[in-house]
Amino acid sequence: MINLKKVFFVVIFLVFYCSVGTIFGQEINRFNKNNERTGVWEKYYQNKRIRYTGQFKNGKEIGVFKFYDSTSSKHPVIVKTYYNNSDSVFVEFFTIQGKVKTEGFLNNKKRVGVWKYFNQNGKIISKENYEDGLLQGEQFVYYPNGQVTEVSRYKNGSLEGISSKFSSKNILIEEITYANNAPNGLAKYFELNGNLKETGFYKNGKRDGKWEYYLEGELATKPNKNKHTNESFKNK
């Protein structure tokens, strides 16, 4: 008498065996006649977890590639989107839990265009621009509510120009001029109410020359620290 249960498991095994190296009837990890990767490809870590999956055409990536961490196959930690007739690649970085952290474009493996960074709640925390892999133009940093907290300017990867910081109430609290990636030039510091607190010049990252100090928005002389110390001793 035929054991139907045993026959069933044999059939299942044969189906699984014949499906190895295929996805829904499509063979994976293939090479064309020119020994170029083509079609669907999958790679795995030594622990058998999936490493990446994607498609090739004549040795070139096309469409969406998903990369996974060796500890989890639930969500990809990197997603790359390739476009026809373009060298640009849109890249997204994710946490293990699947929440986006960073996104932007690569061209010849160098950052180009606008890149964005997000907090664990998916809200943007900073935005910057690249040219040929180097920071270029304005960089914005945001409070959790989306309000700008800092604006800096870059040229060929270095801080160049005025960098400004703002309070949570959108009041300017700091304005520093940069050159060659260091404070060089006029700097202004403000109280939280917007009144000027101190101003002066930097040279190669260090304070240079005379600085002016303000009290409630009015120009004041710099306190004499030695005098303050002597008076403290007299009162003892």
Q: Render pLDDT for 17-58 as a digit per residue (tens, 0 to 9).
A: 344 445 455 689 999 999 999 999 999 999 999 999 999 999
Query: Is residue 189 one of the residues assigned to a domain?
Result: yes
C-alpha span between 140 and 117 (Å, rounded): 10
Query: Is residue 25 one of the residues assigned to a domain?
Result: no
Query: Is residue 138 one of the residues assigned to a domain?
Result: no
Q: Over the stretch 44-103, which tens digit does the pLDDT of each residue have?
A: 999 999 999 999 999 999 999 999 999 999 999 999 999 988 899 999 999 999 999 999
- Residue with the two structure tokens 């700008």: 148
- Residue with the two structure tokens 């008498």: 1
C-alpha span between 93 and 106 (Å, rounded): 13
Q: Over the stretch 135-188, which tens digit does the pLDDT of each residue have?
A: 999 999 999 999 999 999 999 999 999 999 999 999 999 999 999 999 999 999
Query: Is residue 91 one of the residues assigned to a domain?
Result: no
Query: Is residue 224 one of the residues assigned to a domain?
Result: yes
Q: How many domains does the chain have?
A: 1
Under a CB-based contact definition with an 8 Å cutoff, are residues 158 and 143 in contact? no
Query: Is residue 131 one of the residues assigned to a domain?
Result: no
pLDDT at residue 224 is higher than 80 = no
Segments forming the whole domain that contains residue 206? 160-236
C-alpha span between 51 and 43 (Å, rounded): 5
Query: Is residue 192 one of the residues assigned to a domain?
Result: yes
Query: Is residue 179 one of the residues assigned to a domain?
Result: yes
| pLDDT for res 27 | 86
Lowest mean pLDDT among 104-108, 223-227, 229-233: 229-233
